[in-house]
Chain A
Amino acid sequence: MANWSLKWFQTMKVYWSNLFVYRTNFFLQTIGPLFVFLFIKLSLWTSIYLSSQKSIIGGYTLEEMLAYHLWIMVASMIILTSSSQNLSEDIRLGKISSYLIYPFSFWEFHASNFAARQTVQVFIALLTVFILLILLPTYFSNISFLFFIQGLILSLMAGFFWFSLNYIIGLMAFWLEETWTLTVLTQVVTYFCSGAIIPLELYPLWLKEALFYTPFPYLGFVPVRTFMGESLLFWQSVLVLLGWILLINLISKLIWKKGIHLYTAAGM
């Protein structure tokens, strides 16, 4: 067990050192987009409320809408972090041959990288919440320790689901030359269906109900509503997310088994 955890920790250490070599890239690639996205949404919603002269839209006052988008940014820092890019490159360039003989599997390697990245992301998210609490306390009047922990748990679970989804997309490299289109496609669909742009209450009822049969609301809307103090469905959301995580990991195991039969170790 100690040996196993040491392998994970050493891999995480390597990932951290790689990550911080290109600090500007890390900021531009991961943190910057979230702040720009937030800035656009704050500007857009302020303009919408001012021009419509409505005090409540879709059940949200302007303050609640801005708080919703601030929490979306925090949740996205934890949830939408991993990418399938390195994974598919490993397959396409024949690098997975090493993992087939190492005592550390392909999944373990990428999962430990994910864990390392997630540690950094959680730290940044906590720091962001701390700064926001000081700068914009009015938007966080509903915050409580319990809601925050529940939201954090849901976000971490959703983050693991997102990693598993990206793992499957990466495995598509067994069949496809390029997988970045699938990654971007998933991101576009997720942003729209998770309530990252518009809260799901504003969607037509039929669409909102249909979306709750998919994992998308759990990648944004549900954790954010929990952060904001709506924790009635916490345990139900935990169970639903667990179900999706189990299902997607089962699918990824099947895809790995199928894919590895096709693997030709290019360049070896």
Chain B
Amino acid sequence: MSVSMIKNIRHYFSIYQSFIVTCFAESMNFRMHFLLLIIMDLFFYVSALASVYILYEHVPLIGSWNREQFLFFISIMLAVNQLTMTFVSESFWQFPLLIRTGNLDFILLKPANAIFSTFFRYVRPGSMVNVIFTWSATIYFGIQLDLNWFSWMILPFLVFMGFFLQNSIELVISCSMFWMLEGTGINFLRIELQQLSRWPDFIYQSFVRRILTLILPILLIGSAPARFLFDFNDIYPLLGMGLAIIFFWIILKFTWAAGLKAYESASS
């Protein structure tokens, strides 16, 4: 690693540290909101797990998965969701406002990467606390499945890959807001895609599954890690996940550049 690269990483790390500090200071001023955010996420996590639990009271298998396998998959998806809620979700909601008000100008003028400053600006400390719940659930169901040491070692890495893939796709989609008068609706589209990805790939019929695996690979976010952990021979979805992350980052570079060309500052 060259000296300039290390310098660069340090530079961005210090910026991110400042972002986190300001977000913490802000959330401590609104303690009730902070608390409600934790409760809201917890209710969502519990209802997601409880729904699957209730389903398995009536059937022994869904697809080829038993209760523990399905709940482990849901826990992985909740861990990905928790990372998204903590590190990027708020910035996605702020993005259409930045475009509409023209405040994106100030970000473009800053001596830092604009994508980084736009989408990693806000952290939700309230959601950060819920890492305890999501990882407890993941570990609990992992123990039930008797995962081996290798699976435990790569589990955090796989969750982060899921997080990166989900957000690479969503960043590309969010660039469409540059061409819209009011882009908030795109955030609802993002949420719908998250909803689709929150269920294992085998529940969808062949045609839809192919589209959501090969063209818009949202089904790889949770299914690829879970399938690999259940069977190490099932590695192709995981490889596809790595390729998809690289592919969507390349696409992002172009869509972001095209979006900026289309962007008209609100005051101009």
Interface residues of A (CB under 8 A from B): 22, 24-29, 32-33, 36-37, 39-40, 43-44, 46-48, 51-52, 54, 57-58, 175-178, 181-182, 184-185, 188-189, 191-192, 197-198, 202-204
Tell me the complex Cα distance, A36–B191, Å.
10
Query: Interface segment, B31-39, B145-153, B155-163?
Result: B31-39
Output the nearest chain B residue to A175 by Cβ-Cβ distance: B32
For chain B, the count of residues having a C-beta within 8 Å of the partner chain is: 40
Q: Are A40 and B54 in contact (CB under 8 A)?
A: no
Q: Are B180 and A24 in contact (CB under 8 A)?
A: yes
Q: Are A33 and B184 in contact (CB under 8 A)?
A: no
Q: How far is the CB of B95 from chain A (nearest CB, A)?
A: 14
Output the nearest chain A residue to B36 by Cβ-Cβ distance: A181
Q: Are A44 and B199 in contact (CB under 8 A)?
A: yes
Cβ proximity bits B182-201 to A, threshold 8 Å, 1 near / 0 not: 10111011011001100100
Name A40's contact: one of B30, B184, B199, B202 (CB within 8 Å): B199
Q: Are B192 and A43 in contact (CB under 8 A)?
A: no
Contacts of B111 in A (CB 8 A): none
B251: CB under 8 A from chain A?
no
Name A22's contact: one of B43, B50, B62, B181 (CB within 8 Å): B181
Tell me the complex Cα distance, A177–B29, Å.
10
Q: Are A192 and B51 in contact (CB under 8 A)?
A: yes
Output the nearest chain A residue to B96 by Cβ-Cβ distance: A25
Tell me the complex Cα distance, A38–B210, Å.
19
Name B188's contact: one of A32, A40, A184, A188 (CB within 8 Å): A32
CB<8 Å pairs between A and B, sample of 14: A22-B182, A24-B185, A28-B185, A28-B186, A28-B188, A43-B208, A51-B62, A52-B60, A52-B61, A54-B58, A58-B58, A181-B39, A182-B36, A202-B55
Q: Are A202 and B57 in contact (CB under 8 A)?
A: yes
Output the nearest chain B residue to A36 by Cβ-Cβ distance: B192
Name B189's contact: one of A28, A182, A184 (CB within 8 Å): A28
Q: Are A51 and B61 in contact (CB under 8 A)?
A: yes
Q: Which 7 A-B pairs have the closest CB atoms?
A: A28-B185, A25-B185, A52-B59, A181-B36, A192-B47, A47-B203, A36-B192
Q: Are B184 and A25 in contact (CB under 8 A)?
A: yes
Name B58's contact: one of A25, A26, A57, A191 (CB within 8 Å): A57
Tell me the complex Cα distance, A137–B204, Å.
23
Name B196's contact: one of A40, A176, A184 (CB within 8 Å): A40
Q: Are B59 and A57 in contact (CB under 8 A)?
A: yes
Contacts of B63 in A (CB 8 A): 47, 51
- Are A181 and B203 CB-contacts (below 8 A) given A40-B196, A189-B43, A197-B51? no
Contacts of B30 in A (CB 8 A): 176-178
**A interface, over-half SS:** helix
B4: CB under 8 A from chain A?
no
Name A44's contact: one of B33, B181, B188, B203 (CB within 8 Å): B203
Q: Are B55 and A48 in contact (CB under 8 A)?
A: yes
Cβ proximity bits B56-78 to A, threshold 8 Å, 1 near / 0 not: 01111111100000000000000
Contacts of B182 in A (CB 8 A): 22, 25
Name A203's contact: one of B54, B61, B204, B208 (CB within 8 Å): B54
Tell me the complex Cα distance, A36–B54, Å.
22
The B211-239 residues at the A interface (CB cut-off 8 A) are none
Q: How far is the CB of A23 from chain B (nearest CB, A)?
A: 9
Output the nearest chain B residue to A176 by Cβ-Cβ distance: B32
Tell me the complex Cα distance, A57–B54, Å.
12
Q: How far is the CB of A27 from chain B (nearest CB, A)?
A: 7
B116: CB under 8 A from chain A?
no
Contacts of B39 in A (CB 8 A): 181, 185
Contacts of B43 in A (CB 8 A): 185, 188-189
B254: CB under 8 A from chain A?
no
Q: Are B64 and A51 in contact (CB under 8 A)?
A: yes
Contacts of A33 in B (CB 8 A): 188, 191-192, 195
Tell me the complex Cα distance, A51–B30, Å.
48
Q: How far is the CB of B176 from chain A (nearest CB, A)?
A: 10
B44: CB under 8 A from chain A?
yes
Tell me the complex Cα distance, A43–B200, Å.
11
Q: Are A178 and B33 in contact (CB under 8 A)?
A: yes
Name A181's contact: one of B40, B55, B189, B195 (CB within 8 Å): B40
Q: Are B203 and A177 in contact (CB under 8 A)?
A: no
Output the nearest chain A residue to B50 by Cβ-Cβ distance: A192
Contacts of A52 in B (CB 8 A): 58-62
Output the nearest chain B residue to A22 by Cβ-Cβ distance: B182
- Are A27 and B185 CB-contacts (below 8 A) given A47-B62, A178-B33? yes
Q: Are A29 and B185 in contact (CB under 8 A)?
A: yes
Tell me the complex Cα distance, A181–B59, Å.
34
Tell me the complex Cα distance, A265–B216, Å.
47
B205: CB under 8 A from chain A?
yes
Q: How far is the CB of A148 from chain B (nearest CB, A)?
A: 29
Tell me the complex Cα distance, A25–B100, Å.
14
Contacts of B189 in A (CB 8 A): 28, 32
Tell me the complex Cα distance, A175–B204, Å.
45
